[in-house]
Amino acid sequence: MQDSEIRVIDVKERILADNDRAAEAVRSEMKQKGVFLVNLMASPGAGKTTLLVRTIQALKDTYRIGVMEADVDSDVDARTAAEAGAKVIQIHTGGSCHMDAEMTEKGIGEMGVDDVDIVFLENVGNLVCPAEFDVGANKRVMILSVPEGDDKPLKYPLMFRVSDVLLVNKVDTAPIFDFDFDRLRANVDRLHEGMPVIPLSAKTGEGFDAWITWLKREIEASRRLAADDPATAGAEQSGAGTHDVSADGRLNAAASDAEKAEKTQPVHSAAQGEKVSAR
């Protein structure tokens, strides 16, 4: 039998390349509309929804907030976010363990973002697949909970490499678990040197000011860049003050008067919330 040449196709490489192009389209659209997109990633049980609810409560008087809740099934988290005061849409991923850029684009279109300043995408609970797929977010935020252990950077390195900030949740449980913050910091620095690591508790509020200040700083920096770009200079922006946060994510400055001004917040009740199938 004569040897024949076998053609090999790297399907994953093609899928990721297609996704990257779609992500750039999402990023461009959000920039044009003046909307800041945050990709929240964590394992199941790390406290994503509890942290998101407290974040909504801290920001909703300053920014108009939208939330895309991604789950394989159910709308439990979407109802919780809606009750906190956000405009919410539920996305069912059809069994997929992560969101990709195309699903994100569909969710944005179905929800509508002309009346929001920030959109939080609560990704499917998973430390592997969400790290591989860019959804077009301005920032990727990873949540690690104390009970998960300080060795997670060694087990899931890509997630730590691609994230822009690490929130270490459930610090109120630290006395119960053998969690070494210095060891975590060293493990993180091997993968992503200098990434802000913010210990906090979404339950008690401990350390939360540092997270909110870091987030506001990033939002305002994005707005300044958009304002300097002639292509996006006309995008609608809601007023908010500027912030300053040190390299380790600690609180450095107070909010300006503009941040303290109350704004009308559109709310979708859980009963009114929409559901979208991403597939």
Q: What is the mean pLDDT of the chain?
A: 83
In percent, how much of the chain has pLDDT > 70? Answer: 78
Token look-up 């252990």 returns 149
Residue pLDDT, tens place only, 231-241? 665 554 444 43
Residue 187 in this model has a pLDDT that exceeds 80 = yes
Closest by Cα among 125, 109, 127 to 66: 109
Rounded to whole angstroms, the Cα distance separating 244 from 220 reads: 10
Helix (H, G, I), strand (E, B) or coil at 90: strand
Reported pTM = 0.79
Domains of the chain: 21-260 (3.40.50.300)
Longest dimension (CA), the chain: 81
Return the number of other C-beta atoms located less than 10 Å from residue 217's C-beta: 17
Helix (H, G, I), strand (E, B) or coil at 44: coil
Q: Predicted confidence band at 71 (pLDDT cuts at 50, 70, 90)?
A: confident
Residue pLDDT, tens place only, 119-151? 999 999 999 999 999 999 999 999 999 999 999
Residue 193 in this model has a pLDDT that exceeds 70 = yes
Residue 274 in this model has a pLDDT that exceeds 80 = no
